[in-house]
A = this chain, B = another copy of it.
Amino acid sequence: MAGNSFGQLFRITTFGESHGEAIGVIIDGCPSMLDVDLDYIQGELDKRKPGQSKITTQRKESDTVRILSGVFEGKTTGTPIMMLIPNEDQRSKDYNHNTDVFRPSHADYTYHTKYGIRDHRGGGRSSARETAARVAAGALAKLLLKTQGIEIVAHVSSVGKIDAPNVEIISADEFIAEREQNIVRCADPATANEMIEFIDSVRKDGDTVGGKVSCHVLNCPVGLGEPVFDKLHADLGKAMLSINAVHGFEFGSGFEGSSMRGSEHNDVFIKDGEKVKTITNYSGGIQGGISNGMPIEFKVAFKPVATIMHNQATINADGDAAEISGKGRHDPCVVPRAVPIVEAMAALVIADHWLRNRNTRLDPHL
């Protein structure tokens, strides 16, 4: 059973390889009567597209999305929505030297062994290019959530050992505006400069570096999440871990919480006007796998990009020793372009659970 679909009620299926004709996605289950703002969707793709700045890969793709079905006179019709993104700049010959050689810490060896065949050009299906389809689908999910007032915002909170301080979020729009002021997509300007300089120096070394993205879901209603397995944070975790290069996920108090005591970790409930809140938010907005109305907060760890501009020892398909020299066009640090991907995957999870929650009670409570 293959694994190219995600979500239960708001369900996407992606297709396409890095150097094939096109990539894309079918979204099945988006409710009808939603206004589709194609400019917004394209804007989200633009934040992910290659060639944005000196600290991203120089591959050039306009990543222009077309909607081939499911939308009529600007509205969703309840039928499957097909979004197509043609590939343009497929410098496949850059990859000819990799045909039979397994690049270290890439998916070449595992794909080759699992499937017995692989499209080696640019990593084929294992390329992060596939995430453009996720961003397109996620943008539609965001449009759906915006009708409910739910906003999802992420930014780069760490690059290498450089950590941004916590940024207070007044409004989603302001946070994003601040973040988009700099090419590394960190909402703290001072840290952003430091990060950019560091990435640029790493790039000049022909090396790469990892980082972290922090994400917040604002105005999420109480009740999203389906225990015992499809807890909201479990589905968020799977979504994030399915993004290329992700090696870790934590929400609320996360790994640090494991060294705390219950008496300091417990979030005390209070009534704030009509709204129930907690004084602290170590729970990260989720209790028992269900959103509790507080901001949902989680963090995603990305490993350094495996393609470096150094010579590296490896083996080939025959098992013989080989050497690989880093060619192709790659990112020195993946996190600036990962921000819209994290947001997109979060939006897909929240949209899916928002729909799922509609069926919780006999009397619908939405």
Inside 8 A of A119's CB, which chain B residues have their CB?
Answer: 72, 77, 79
Q: Known contacts A228-B14, A228-B130, A251-B247; decide if A261 and B208 are in contact (CB<8 Å).
A: yes
Cβ contact of A258, chosen from B6, B211, B262, cutoff 8 A: B211
Question: What is the 8 Å Cβ interface bit string for chain A, positions 327-361, against chain B (1 contact, 0 not)?
Answer: 00000000000000000000000000001111111
* Residue in A115, A262, A301, A363 whose Cβ sees the most chain B Cβ within 10 Å: A262
**When the two chains form their complex, are residues A248 and B247 in contact, meaning their CB atoms are under 8 A apart?**
no
Cβ–Cβ contact A78 & B115, under 8 A: yes
Closest to A210 in B: B258
A226 interface neighbour in B2, B222, B227, Cβ under 8 Å = B2
**Nearest B residue (CB) for A283:** B105
Residues of B within 8 A of A16 (CB): 68-69, 80, 82
Cross-interface CB contact of A114 among B222, B233, B320, cutoff 8 Å: B222
* Interface residue A5 (Cβ < 8 Å from any Cβ of B): yes
Q: Given A32-B116, A229-B4, A366-B364, decide whether A24 and B82 contact each other with a Cβ distance below 8 A.
A: yes
Given A23-B69, A105-B282, A268-B313, A117:B75 Cβ within 8 A: yes
Query: Taking CB as reference atom, which chain B residue is nearest A162?
Result: B259
Nearest neighbor of A326 in chain B, beta-carbon distance:
B262
What chain B residues lie within 8 Å of A70 (beta carbons)?
A: 15, 17
- A residues 40-92 with Cβ under 8 Å of B? 66, 68-70, 72-73, 75, 77-82
23 cross-chain CB contacts under 8 A: A2-B79, A5-B13, A13-B80, A14-B80, A15-B69, A15-B82, A16-B82, A20-B69, A31-B359, A79-B115, A104-B267, A106-B288, A107-B287, A110-B287, A110-B289, A114-B225, A234-B241, A238-B238, A250-B255, A258-B301, A270-B315, A271-B319, A358-B359
In the A-B complex, the 5 residue pairs with the closest CB atoms: A107-B288, A3-B230, A3-B226, A248-B250, A208-B262
